[in-house]
Chain A
Amino acid sequence: GENVEQHPSTLSVQEGDSAVIKCTYSDSASNYFPWYKQELGKGPQLIIDIRSNVGEKKDQRIAVTLNKTAKHFSLHITETQPEDSAVYFCAASQPNSGYALNFGKGTSLLVTP
């Protein structure tokens, strides 16, 4: 089955700096890669996603890049703010499994003022 690895497990940055979280996947059939943000006591919130036919996608301060050949994808957050502090999860899915999500273990991001 699909195996998604996520690094780092914790990340601390100063407000205004950039944060980068990296994930790798094992199944070349995976073709959809979402990123979720989970705040304490809440369910995961979709923040950005990318499909395998696209190499990069940007939404304001958030961007995701995908390297299909190397089977890795990354989340980039620029100009971080304290409210960006949360746990971030990457995931991979494919149509064969009905797009059931295979998640990484999560990255706890702390943005200090």
Chain B
Amino acid sequence: EAGVTQSPTHLIKTRGQQATLRCSPISGHTSVYWYQQALGLGLQFLLWYDEGEERNRGNFPPRFSGRQFPNYSSELNVNALELEDSALYLCASHSMGRKETQYFGPGTRLLVL
């Protein structure tokens, strides 16, 4: 069974630009979570999508947004990039049978210059 996949693996942007990150959940999983892992700040919950809808968001500004497509894959968009947005962005998915258990992808490393 293929795991959670994310693309691209690395992304370099300049301040003020927009970044788009992509995630495909494990086959059969309908929920996608996004987390930010910034140096010194640990892993922080960003967004949760389930059945195409945003269900919950963490303590992040509105310039962090996303969507979930009918095939349950997801995009995370970060607008007006700031230097502090440099981080590893992780996507996780869970199954209907065990909603609490999340499996992570390898992440996208975003560098804002």
Contacts and interface: CB of A to CB of B under 8 A. Distances in A.
Given A97-B56, A100-B33, A89 B102 contact: no
A103 interface: yes
Instruction: Describe B's contact surface by its main secondary structure.
Output: strand
A99 B94 contact: yes
A25 interface: no
A43 B56 contact: no
Interface in B26-51: 31, 33, 35, 42-45, 48, 50
Of A32, A43, A101, A103, most B-chain CB atoms within 10 Å: A43
Given A32-B100, A43-B107, A89-B43, A101 B48 contact: no
Nearest to A43: B104
A46 B56 CA distance: 22
Interface string A76-113: 00000000000001010101011111111110000000
Interface residues of B, number: 25
Nearest to A93: B100
B102 A46 contact: yes
Q: Which of B55, B58, B104 has the most CB of A within 10 A?
A: B104
A44 B104 contact: yes
B94 A43 contact: no
Contact of B43 (A42, A51, A103): A103
Nearest to B58: A100
A113 B99 CA distance: 39
B90 interface: yes
